[in-house]
């Protein structure tokens, strides 16, 4: 990638590419850990339950069970607790 950037018009110089490559080699693990920690949720899923509600009574027989509704309940907790 860096080699291609040095060959582009208006790209970086070979010296700049060498500095970037050295920085990446020395700090790759720290950069990765930082990105992973920022992308995680602080909360964790403790419990999940769901059900489907159906109409069981209606004036007209054709309208029974025509629009089922799914209900999902999630319980969240803090990570590490």
Q: What does the domain layout of the chain look like in residue ranges?
A: 1-39, 43-78
In this predicted structure, the answer to whether residue 81 has a pLDDT above a threshold of 60 is no
Per-residue model confidence (pLDDT) at position 50: 85
Q: What is the pLDDT of residues 12-57, one digit of tens each?
A: 899 999 999 999 999 999 999 888 777 766 677 778 888 887 766 6
Per-residue model confidence (pLDDT) at position 27: 95
Report yes or no: 63 and 55 within 8 Å, Cβ to Cβ.
yes
The pTM of this model reads 0.44
Per-residue model confidence (pLDDT) at position 20: 92
In angstroms, how far is CA 71 from the centroid of its own chain?
23
Residue 44 vs residue 8, higher pLDDT: 8
Per-residue model confidence (pLDDT) at position 64: 60
Letter string b/e over residues 34-72, b meaning 16 or more CB atoms within 10 A of that residue's CB: eeeeeeeeeeeeeeeeeeeeeeeeeeeeeeeeeeeeeee
Beta strand segments in the chain, E: 43-53, 69-78
């Amino acid at each position: 990638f860096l080699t291609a950037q040095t060959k582009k018009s208006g790209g970086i110089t070979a010296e700049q590419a060498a500095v970037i490559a050295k920085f990446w080699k020395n700090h790759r693990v720290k950069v990765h850990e930082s990105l992973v920690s920022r992308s995680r949720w602080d909360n964790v899923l403790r419990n999940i339950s769901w059900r489907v509600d159906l109409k069981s009574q209606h004036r007209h027989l054709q309208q029974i069970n025509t629009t089922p509704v799914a209900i999902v309940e999630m319980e969240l907790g803090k990570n590490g607790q």
